[in-house]
Structure 1
Amino acid sequence: ENENSETLARQLGLWHERALPNLANNIKCGNSLIGPDYYENNQVSLFDEKEALRINVFDWEKEFPEIFSRSVGDPSDQRRRERPPDAVGQAKGFDAVIGNPPYVRQEMIGEFKEYFKKKYKVYHGTADLYIYFIEKGISFLRENGHFSYIVANKWMRANYGRPFRQWLKNQNIDEIIDFGDLPVFKGVTTYPCILKVIKTPLNGTLNVAQMDSLEFKDLSAYIEPLRYEVDQTKLDDSGWSLTNRNEQDLLDRLKSMGIPLGNYVDGKIYRGILTGLNEAFVISKEKRDELIAEDPKSVELIRPFLIGKEIKRYAPLKPINFIILIPKGWTNEESNFAKDTWGWMQKEYPAIASHLISYESKAEKRWDKGDYWWELRACDYYVEFEKPKLLLPDISLRGNFAFDDGNGFYCVNTAYIIPVEDSYLMGILNSKLITFIYQKSSAVFRGGYLRFIYQYLVQLPIRVIDFSDPADKARHDRMVALVETMLALHKRLPEVSTPQEKDVIQRQIAATDAQIDKLVYELYGLTKEEIEVVEGKNV
């Protein structure tokens, strides 16, 4: 600290050497992801000085010739003589690469995507910037070199992480320390992990530690009892589940016990509706009643509309909002392609037209509107909302499926529908076992919340009933009866008035729920030890 030429001269006069190595030539400034080949397809003259400074390409081999040239340096240098014999006179890299890459979303790096696509094996069109920093950092290692970054853990399961996971699976991962939702960086939610890689031949096993606290003095000592091994060769390119061997063996067996949910329902899992302008198209009950009172025909274009928090496990659905549903193509079809379509709309549905007109400017600016500003975007499955269906909010602590028996409930785009009338399936999806599988297949967010995403939902293994087997059919019928009991109990719960009555019903709900979980364990053939794994008693 505070070293200058005077103190340095005094030190060299006394000891003939520096107390610390000279770092003057080691601190460089530049765009570490973009090399001089960025200009290969561009005329350099087109880049003015200001633009060149902004891009600031960086030539690693030129800036660190002693690291990347074939002549590594003076073989007599003590530090170099301590390296393995092959470290002198060969093309090498850094002994260690450490860092905390910037957290920059893909929307901010659009101008460089074509370059990244050509230069990086991990490229994906929606990948965040840190993905490229990881590939670059690992590529700089010499043999036996060590890499360690702290980065967001989203790459483990995000769609954009697939090329990266495929590439990383072929690197010798030493350790992943996952901090989950712990606030490592105060004031921001980043879900960080520490990724460690050693440039040695792949050994097929990596160490994992799932952090449960930030209250430690020595990270290495703290994670020692938390550390477990994961078979790197079994990691799924579609998303990494860093589970211990007991859990992974159970997950593998469970997946073999059923068919993916997406196949079970013939691919019919749909997101809710995106209006692009909720203030215009989503209305309150009071506004709905007002529009219908003004013009009874308004009821033809208004549907009950659920938001995520109104969808609760087995509970009756009671939407407090409604949607004005005018799909793309509806106006032309209903008006027989009238020349003055808005005039036709005002004449046929005057109350709704009067309500919407004040939002014309905003509605017109939507990129996802229909043929006219008063229409919603195109959607191939509007009709599915009118059918009996299961519904699920996309954020929940566990499987949280409710049932609409044909009331025509629509829902917001932060929820899903599965247009089937299947009580057996509902019991499976609301069970502890399915929640366990989903937790181990996707990210867990702050507060223990799960984000239900299509790519993981479709993979949930559903045990198929063999109706030719009387015992299996009996299990199916018992599940249907239990689910119908749950629906009836949840319907009754808000209708009772005294605390004693509520307690009685809640105890019945808990008992029935436990019976469903027990039946699901039976259907999937779980042992006592495997049930303990699912319930967190034996991991």
Structure 2
Amino acid sequence: MSEIKTSKELAFEGIKELVEKFENNYKQFHASEYNETLTRQDFINPFFEYLGWDISNKQGYSHIYREVIHEDKLRQRRAYGEINKETKRQAPDYSFRIGGNRVFFVEAKKPSLNLKEDSDAAYQIRRYAWSGKLAVSILTNFEEFAIYDCSKKPSPNDKASMSRIEYINYKDYLNRFDFLYDTFAKENVLKGSLEKYNADAKNKKGTESVDIDFLNSLDNLRTKLASSISKLNGISERDLNFAVQHIIDRIIFLRVAEDRGVENYGDLREACSNSNVIAKAKPATKSGIRQAINNVDCHASLREARNDEKVVRNEGNNYYKNIVEIFKKADGKYNSGIFDFSKDKITDKIKVDNKVIKEIINDLYYPKSPYEFSVISVEIIGNAYEQFLGKTITIGNNHKAKIELKPEVRKAGGVYYTPEYIVDYIVENTVGEKIKNKTPNEIAKIKIADPACGSGSFLLGAYKYLLNYHREYYSKQGKKKFLASARRWRGSKEDAITEDGELALWVKKQILINNIFGVDIDSNAVEVTKLSLLLKCMEGETPASIMNNQSLFNERALPSLDENIKCGNSLIGNDFYSGGDSLNIDIETQYKINCFDWEREFPSIFKSGGFDIVIGNPPYGAELMDIERNYLERKYNLSNTNTAALFIGLSKHLLKDKGVNGFIIPKSFIYASNWENSRELIINDLQELVDCGKVWKEVKLEQVIIMFCNNFEVETYKASERNENNIITVGKIDKKTFREFGFYLNAVSNEELNIAYKMISSKKTVNDFCINRRGVGEQKHCLEEINTKKEYYKVLGGKNISRYYFPDNAKKYILKEYIQDDKAFIEKNSILAQRIVSYTEIPKPSIAIRAIPSDIINSLNKYILVDTINQLSNKSEYSTYFILAILNSKLISWYAYRFIYSKAIMTMQFDNPTTSRIPMPLVDLSKKSDKEIHDKLVNLVDNIIEINKKLNNEKNPDVVTMLRRQVEAIDDSIDKIVYGLYGLTEEEIEIIENGK
């Protein structure tokens, strides 16, 4: 009985046969007539089939889920007057995919081409893969197999060896078979072989992602264009920003359309060439030139004709005007609003220097451009545009343009694009849940809004989800109908799905118009959102499909989104102008506020009760003018004008009953005192809470995802947390915990919750034993040295203290004249919390804690505190050292992290609301046993403070090690006693110790 061979063994045998076949007919395969197509059929296709890939789609998957997409190069013919041009749109030969997502490209060549030295071919594959954000890709003619690291930006001047990480000759395929199979076989790619193979690519020197580079190109393009327009036109900065934005959007749209084969490749470049002008020359002039040239005796006529041609060139050789004509032609074809000159009265009248516009256009074409727009996803373009929108153009001396961050963006620390996995999760759990098991007719009634849409990432995510759902729906329905009556479908409007399994253009348009809505205060953001959505709508289309759409339905290719995506201030309605100071504000302020009336702008939606879904990443803590803040405080009544909180209030208003919300917002929402009203607003409706941690490394704030269903009360909510790019459900949390702990619990287990219940059973907190005061101190009056005879105090700040220790010698001082003794103390919940504080008169030593703590607590006496320290004044019969031991214990750190700070890292504050939540054990000092425990803790703390004093002054490393071990031993003893005070079992202590 023969053994059953593994897929790897079968692959080895198959590739061995290919190698032998190539070797035996080597000269034949190097002949000039043996082309790339034959190479693919005879060698490259079977090579990858042996590696487990379904090259010819034998499984019959729809186009979107095919494992391999063949993207043959397209050649198109075009006519310009009497001139015929042949141009080539480039695209990768193979796109290998898992679950519809690209994993690597393969570019095929014929064997007679020397790939080891061919820099053009290498540039080609690197350009494709870099544009598609793929880490590695392959260039092969079967004889040679080159693997490229495609994380680095390619240049047409690079040698073929640049970024090539493997080069394998066909004679070595069998020797290197393990590597080839383990890396590129489908079964291993599914297991993450490519990520493992190129894990360090992102850390390599010179790596720059396409979205970042594309942003830099947009900035460079914008600077050149703005400088030229400013120099040649009398135009305001606002109109300049408008013009530049619209011109760039139109150029990018058309370049994407060209690379996708929808537009004639090179039209924009041709508009910036002299041949374009000659082709447009007047027939009479051309005739005169020909006549003069044929009549050698008519020198005067020849000179006159040549002068006439020169005039034609000077008048007609306006590259920007040529491009505007292309824009206007595109308007008639697409109806997208991007090219609408009936509203845009600026861009067709301006002048742009020929040299500048030609340079801008040529920089977007192969070979100068590293971008292949046929493979750059709309999400990548949107990512670049998100950053682009955070900048504005200012004009300096000599009309020189400067690109600067907008003031509000500079204050916020930049613009950060919402990662796709966050968008996808929110969309799947809002849009996905709403449309589940619904028909297209039912889905058409569902309205989705992003009230701060930015570059449109959430709306694009929702649109993609709807497209996929409809594609699957119609594919299942369509198979039955096609079998029953194929003719009836063909060419009729019921034909919702094309022969290759894609949605018909009219379906994609209807989904966009029916379902997707957005608002943004930035008019440029509105245009970019439209651009992203329309590019997605146009994805996969061909000139034939667009022409078919026009001939069948007598309508232009794309829908106008003017009624779907609008500009305005989502938070401030027209009632802002109802009276008072708002009537007297200047026009510039009115322009900045930009009031927006939702009911008036979307009347039919609100007539039906409102939106079904509101999603997005609302702005956090946007800067507000006083007049705005006063209005917003009245309108939303949330005691919090952080704009993220206000958008939660807005969402409640926009949603119809049972409408769903999905936002990513600052994590402080779930525990901070100033967000209390926002938590109360949605507690009954809350469906899910996702702890995202730090989504953006550059942003100090952590984030959470909240999802709620308007006016749909449930008793529990789902708790989830982010792990890298995945979101994992931890469990469900009973909403009664909100009342018991005062905030939303997040991602805690039942065992942890039981420990917390045991700890709070005493009903006592730190605030029952201490007064929590914040030291503020006029830091501007703090001195490094004292050069005067005046009296002064020592100053202590958060950086000066550490656990169970602070230095006796302060490094800063403050004069007593800046302290009013009668207001030396901060009273609880008093406005005096903003004043300097002297603690010299406190009878007991107090506890100093960093205002943003990191397990750093100490006793304190005779210091002035600045606002980086909170002071706990002991008002109880307990020793301050006893309270200090409790606060410094591992148990309280564990509890505070989970049940007060909700696993936040940098956003917690040690204020009164915090200490009002720290549970304290009950100790009766009249009982001997309790008194002994109390005194033992006091003694241990006294010892650890003394050891820390020695440790701070000790220089001998051996002694330092010994003292540290003593501190650790005492710490362990304190922790054990504290566990006992709260009545924890051994099993519960293990949970704390192991951080489970």
TM-score range, shorter chain: 0.7 to 0.9
The alignment partner of 1:34 has SS state of coil
Aligned CA distance change for structure 1 residues 114 and 394 (closer, same or farther; 3 Å): closer
**Which piece of structure 1 moves more, 310-319 or 382-391?**
382-391
CA distance in 1, matches of 2:609, 2:558: 24
What is residue 165 of structure 1 aligned with on the other side?
A: 679
What is residue 851 of structure 2 aligned with on the other side?
A: 394
Deviations 1:376-430 (A, max 9, x none): x8657544468522222223322x22224x5x23332211223445221111111
- Which residue of 416, 419, 424 corresponds with 2:870? 416
What is residue 59 of structure 1 aligned with on the other side?
A: 597
1:307 aligns with 2:307: no
Counterparts of 1:277-292 in structure 2 under 5 Å? 277-278=780-781, 281-283=782-784, 287-288=785-786, 291=788
CA distance in 1, matches of 2:887, 2:844: 19
Amino acid across the alignment from 2:977: L
What is residue 248 of structure 1 aligned with on the other side?
A: 753
Deviations 1:55-85 (A, max 9, x none): 332222222122112xxxxxxxxxxxxxxxx
CA distance in 1, matches of 2:687, 2:579: 39
CA distance in 1, matches of 2:919, 2:582: 56
- Which residue of 714, 718, 736 corresponds with 1:203? 714
Deviations 1:436-495 (A, max 9, x none): 22212026555x785422320233222231123332222112212221221222222234
Aligned CA distance change for structure 1 residues 112 and 517 (closer, same or farther; 3 Å): same
- Is contact 2:776-2:866 (8 Å) kept? yes
What is residue 234 of structure 1 aligned with on the other side?
A: 737
- Is contact 1:262-1:457 (8 Å) kept? yes
The alignment partner of 1:179 has SS state of strand
- Is contact 1:272-1:414 (8 Å) kept? yes
CA distance in 1, matches of 2:804, 2:697: 38
Counterparts of 1:96-495 in structure 2 under 5 Å? 96-105=613-622, 108-121=624-637, 123-124=638-639, 126-170=640-684, 172-180=685-693, 182=694, 184-185=695-696, 187-199=698-710, 201-213=712-724, 216=725, 222-224=726-728, 226-236=729-739, 238-244=742-748, 245-257=750-762, 259-265=764-770, 267=771, 269-278=772-781, 281-283=782-784, 287-288=785-786, 291=788, 295=789, 298=790, 301-321=791-811, 322-329=813-820, 382-384=839-841, 388-398=845-855, 400-404=856-860, 406=861, 408-420=862-874, 422-440=880-898, 441-442=900-901, 446=905, 451-495=909-953
Q: CA deviation at 1:273?
A: 4.2
CA distance in 2, matches of 1:452, 1:25: 48
What is residue 36 of structure 1 aligned with on the other side?
A: 574
Aligned CA distance change for structure 1 residues 44 and 506 (closer, same or farther; 3 Å): closer
Cα RMSD (Å) of the superposition? Answer: 3.2
- Is contact 2:777-2:837 (8 Å) kept? no
Q: CA deviation at 1:127?
A: 2.5
Aligned CA distance change for structure 1 residues 304 and 387 (closer, same or farther; 3 Å): farther
Aligned CA distance change for structure 1 residues 516 and 529 (closer, same or farther; 3 Å): same
- Is contact 1:397-1:449 (8 Å) kept? no
Amino acid across the alignment from 2:571: L
TM norm structure 2: 0.41
Deviations 1:146-171 (A, max 9, x none): 2212222222223321111111113x
Deviations 1:231-252 (A, max 9, x none): 2232148433325233233223
Amino acid across the alignment from 2:568: G
Amino acid across the alignment from 1:402: N
What is residue 12 of structure 1 aligned with on the other side?
A: 549
CA distance in 2, matches of 1:49, 1:312: 54
CA distance in 1, matches of 2:331, 2:600: 28
Aligned CA distance change for structure 1 residues 431 and 48 (closer, same or farther; 3 Å): closer
CA distance in 1, matches of 2:807, 2:633: 47
Amino acid across the alignment from 2:713: L
Aligned CA distance change for structure 1 residues 532 and 247 (closer, same or farther; 3 Å): same
Amino acid across the alignment from 1:313: R
For structure 2, the 5+ residue unaligned runs are 1-252, 258-329, 336-545, 823-831
Amino acid across the alignment from 1:63: E
- Is contact 1:306-1:319 (8 Å) kept? no
Amino acid across the alignment from 2:547: R
Amino acid across the alignment from 2:618: P
Aligned CA distance change for structure 1 residues 13 and 306 (closer, same or farther; 3 Å): closer
CA distance in 2, matches of 1:55, 1:450: 32
- Is contact 1:169-1:233 (8 Å) kept? no
Aligned CA distance change for structure 1 residues 384 and 529 (closer, same or farther; 3 Å): farther
What is residue 87 of structure 1 aligned with on the other side?
A: none
CA distance in 1, matches of 2:583, 2:712: 45
CA distance in 2, matches of 1:41, 1:247: 54
Q: CA deviation at 1:129?
A: 1.3
The alignment partner of 2:708 has SS state of strand
Aligned CA distance change for structure 1 residues 190 and 504 (closer, same or farther; 3 Å): closer
Deviations 1:91-140 (A, max 9, x none): 322222112212234x624212333233324x21x421121112212322
Deviations 1:319-369 (A, max 9, x none): 3323322255569xxxxxxxxxxxxxxxxxxxxxxxxxxxxxxxxxxxxxx
Aligned CA distance change for structure 1 residues 519 and 487 (closer, same or farther; 3 Å): same
Q: CA deviation at 1:525?
A: 0.3
Aligned CA distance change for structure 1 residues 537 and 119 (closer, same or farther; 3 Å): closer
The alignment partner of 2:805 has SS state of coil
- Is contact 1:153-1:193 (8 Å) kept? yes
- Is contact 1:258-1:464 (8 Å) kept? no
The alignment partner of 1:201 has SS state of coil
For structure 1, the 5+ residue unaligned runs are 70-90, 217-221, 332-369, 371-376
Q: Which has the higher contact order (CA 8 A, sep 6+)?
A: 1
- Is contact 1:316-1:490 (8 Å) kept? no
The alignment partner of 1:98 has SS state of strand
Aligned CA distance change for structure 1 residues 384 and 419 (closer, same or farther; 3 Å): farther
Aligned CA distance change for structure 1 residues 60 and 434 (closer, same or farther; 3 Å): same
- Is contact 2:773-2:872 (8 Å) kept? yes
Q: CA deviation at 1:256?
A: 1.9
CA distance in 1, matches of 2:808, 2:945: 14
Counterparts of 1:21-100 in structure 2 under 5 Å? 23-42=561-580, 46=584, 52-69=590-607, 91-100=608-617
CA distance in 2, matches of 1:140, 1:316: 53
- Is contact 2:720-2:746 (8 Å) kept? no
CA distance in 1, matches of 2:840, 2:951: 31
Aligned CA distance change for structure 1 residues 496 and 54 (closer, same or farther; 3 Å): closer
Amino acid across the alignment from 1:392: I
Count of aligned pairs: 441
- Is contact 1:104-1:130 (8 Å) kept? yes
